[in-house]
């Protein structure tokens, strides 16, 4: 039994120390790309206004999605929404493009993942309070179902992002490239 325990420890120590530091952050970013990148970019696209200026002038959908109660209170006339709220909508729209791109590139990964966690929390709040999500959409933990859109699915999103906050992007990233260039060069003479 001791030999089996020893073999187990050697195998999984090697996995943990050699394979996991490369595999896990890279796999986390790949899973984000495969499951959430297009979701966020498509959501961001629905918020853009017309033409090239749409990147700085969000469209009607942006206000209806991000500020549903405020948009409704002004009969969906964005010109009646205050400048501060317009900045919130613009920042949210840009975040849906910029933060996922940073995660995929592995650039400023920890900050981008932290920003995405904040985004998901705000998104969930807006879905619950602003869009009046029903109980089945909100869901419940420790129940017999695991398919609610908010508490169940977004918990996995946040866990994935939290992993990147804690571990970073790993060696296959622009963060690693920048760290390599920033490190002092020493030569063994």
Please indicate, yes or no, whether residues 100 and 142 belong to a single structural domain of this protein.
Answer: no
Please indicate, yes or no, whether residues 111 and 165 belong to a single structural domain of this protein.
Answer: yes
Give the structural domain span for 166.
Answer: 107-170
pLDDT for 187 equals 47
Residue 136 lies in a domain: yes
Please indicate, yes or no, whether residues 126 and 72 belong to a single structural domain of this protein.
Answer: no
Please indicate, yes or no, whether residues 96 and 137 belong to a single structural domain of this protein.
Answer: no
Please indicate, yes or no, whether residues 155 and 116 belong to a single structural domain of this protein.
Answer: yes
Please indicate, yes or no, whether residues 117 and 95 belong to a single structural domain of this protein.
Answer: no
pLDDT for 184 equals 52
Q: Model pTM?
A: 0.87
Residue 39 lies in a domain: no
Please indicate, yes or no, whether residues 90 and 71 belong to a single structural domain of this protein.
Answer: yes
Please indicate, yes or no, whether residues 55 and 95 belong to a single structural domain of this protein.
Answer: yes
Checking 109-115 for CB contacts under 8 A at 24+ apart, the result is 109/25, 109/29, 109/164, 109/168, 109/169, 109/173, 109/175, 110/164, 110/165, 110/168, 110/169, 112/164, 113/161, 113/162, 113/164, 113/165, 114/161, 114/165
Please indicate, yes or no, whether residues 100 and 84 belong to a single structural domain of this protein.
Answer: yes
Residue 17 lies in a domain: no
Q: What mean pLDDT value characterizes the chain? A: 91
Domain count across the chain: 2
Residue 182 lies in a domain: no
Extract the residue ranges of the chain whose pLDDT is less than 70: 181-189
């Amino acid at each position: 039994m001791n030999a089996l325990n020893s073999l187990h420890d050697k195998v999984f120590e090697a996995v943990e120390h050699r394979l996991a530091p490369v595999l896990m952050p890279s796999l986390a970013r790949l899973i984000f790309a495969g499951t959430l990148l297009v979701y966020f970019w498509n959501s961001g696209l629905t918020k853009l206004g017309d033409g090239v200026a749409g990147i700085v002038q969000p469209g009607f959908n942006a206000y209806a999605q991000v500020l549903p109660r405020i948009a409704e209170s002004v009969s969906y006339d964005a010109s009646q929404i205050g400048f501060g709220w317009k900045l919130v909508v613009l920042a949210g729209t840009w975040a849906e493009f910029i933060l996922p791109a940073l995660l995929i590139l592995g650039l400023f990964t920890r900050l981008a993942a932290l920003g995405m966690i904040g985004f998901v929390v705000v998104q969930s709040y807006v879905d619950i309070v602003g869009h009046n999500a029903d109980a089945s959409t909100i869901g419940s933990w420790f129940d017999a179902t695991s398919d609610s859109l908010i508490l169940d699915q977004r918990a996995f999103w946040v866990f994935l992002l939290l992993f990147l906050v804690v571990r970073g992007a790993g060696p296959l990233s622009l963060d690693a490239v920048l760290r390599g260039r920033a490190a002092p060069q020493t030569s063994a003479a």
